[in-house]
Amino acid sequence: MIAVVDYGMGNLRSVVKGFEKVGVPAEVTADPAVVRAADAVVLPGVGAFGMAMTHLRDAGLDAAIIDAVAADKPFLGICLGLQLLFSESEEFGPVAGLGILPGRVVRFFPDGAPAGVKIPHMGWNALQYAVPTPVLTGIPEGTHVYFVHSFYVAPEDPSVIAATSEFGGFRFTAAVARGNLFACQFHPEKSSTLGLQMLRNFGALVAARV
């Protein structure tokens, strides 16, 4: 069973509907015990980093997520669900994150965006791959995916960077991978046919381990 973590933030229905479209069962849960027992975990999210961390800690979901990743279960983080994996965010902060991956979440163009560039970054941008990863199998490099965010992750360890993209002339980390963990700043569930293929690939990764 794939557990989609409900911590009061995020577009849960869109994620679950995306899995439904590709025939992969997923269950929304706010129960840490269910997250720990699941075969795989999805951490979605939209909104403020600090509030998300408060909700996770208050529900005991932070420890359950850390345990799932430590057990090398297939894990998918989406948008804020990527950012929460890192050490801290400067959004209304610094605010401590889950600390699963060393690095920070930082704002685009803190000294002002280039002329004609609007923040948040909202729209379709191409992926450039850094390392092969199962979730991106069969997805051509250069595929456009949907982003909506004002902050991006800056990993301390560049080896975890799976894909990058470009916004306003600046190249940023679009996805990370380590073991069975894959997390992306973009929304695969909103990224048309190839985005759904990523969810299908994740489901296949889970099925191969069950």
Angle at 127 between CA 182 and CA 8, to 5 degrees: 45
Q: Which of 34, 27, 40 is nearest to 71 (CA)?
A: 40
Question: What residues contact residue 137 under an 8 Å CB cut-off, 6+ apart?
Answer: 201
Cis peptide before 32 (omega within 30 of 0): no
DSSP letter, residue 109: -
What are the phi and psi torsion angles at 197 (to 5°)? -65, -35
Q: Which residues are catalytic?
A: 79, 187, 189
Contacts of 121-126 with C-beta under 8 Å, sequence gap 24+, read: 121/147, 121/148, 121/149, 121/150, 121/167, 121/168, 122/147, 122/148, 123/147, 124/191, 125/165, 125/166, 125/167, 125/174, 125/186, 126/165, 126/166
